[in-house]
Amino acid sequence: MTETRDDNVTWLTQEAYDRLKAELEHLSGPGRIEIADKIEAAREEGDLRENGGYHAAKEEQGKIEARIAQLQGILRNARVGEAPRTAGEVGPGMTVTVKFEGDDEEITFLLASREESGAPIDVYSPKSPLGSAITGKKIGDSAKYTLPNGKSLKVDIIDAVPYGGA
């Protein structure tokens, strides 16, 4: 069976999926109750215009709700397991070695979801400018991508092998 590449899919290890699901369950249940209690306690302190505790709790509530939405989006599009990988071709789940134009040093990183941040090597997102530019490239290929400052940088693919874990 051939699997098509879907840019909306986030590949996660079972460990990362379970960790994110547990975080979502906590924030959606006890986390919401805790922040509602903080807001209510601060509200009882009086004038809301000058109540720093109330405003801090409302800001924290906004952050919790944003994280809940982010987690729901990740988990909705998550697939547990390993992304389809071909040695020599850059894609999610691959350990990639590149060399940047004008730099003699090579760097190696895991191309994976940021949620895999427990990896013992640097993790670059496939959706980042660099990740997007090199995905699908093969050893020996070059790619150009745009840096945050607007300049373009060429990168050469030195190696791409399936990530072997910790």
What CATH number did the domain enclosing 150 receive? 3.10.50.30
Task: For residue 16, give every residue at least 6 positions away whose Cβ sits within 8 Å of its Cβ, in sequence order, or none.
Answer: 113, 115, 116, 118
Q: At what angle do helices 52-76 and 32-43 cross, to 10 degrees?
A: 160
- Name the domain boundary from 80, 103, 118: 80
Kindly state whether residues 41 and 100 are assigned to the same domain: no
Kindly state whether residues 116 and 61 are assigned to the same domain: no
Kindly state whether residues 70 and 127 are assigned to the same domain: no
Q: State yes or no: pLDDT of 5 exceeds 70.
A: no
Per-residue pLDDT band at 1 (split at 50, 70, 90): very low
3 in a domain, yes or no? Answer: no
Q: The CATH number of the domain where 29 resides is what?
A: 1.10.287.180
86 in a domain, yes or no? Answer: no
Cβ–Cβ < 8 Å for 134, 155: yes
- Name the domain boundary from 49, 80, 111: 80
Kindly state whether residues 107 and 76 are assigned to the same domain: no
Q: If we measure between CA atoms, which residue out of 156, 152, 149, 160 comes closest to residue 104?
A: 156
4 in a domain, yes or no? Answer: no
Q: Which two tokens stand for residue 144?
A: 């150009």
d(CA 73, CA 94): 23
pTM of the model: 0.54
Kindly state whether residues 49 and 105 are assigned to the same domain: no
Q: Domain containing 32: what range?
A: 10-80
pLDDT of residue 55: 86
Per-residue pLDDT band at 33 (split at 50, 70, 90): very high
89 in a domain, yes or no? Answer: no
Pick from 11-15, 61-65, 121-125: least confident: 11-15
pLDDT of residue 4: 37
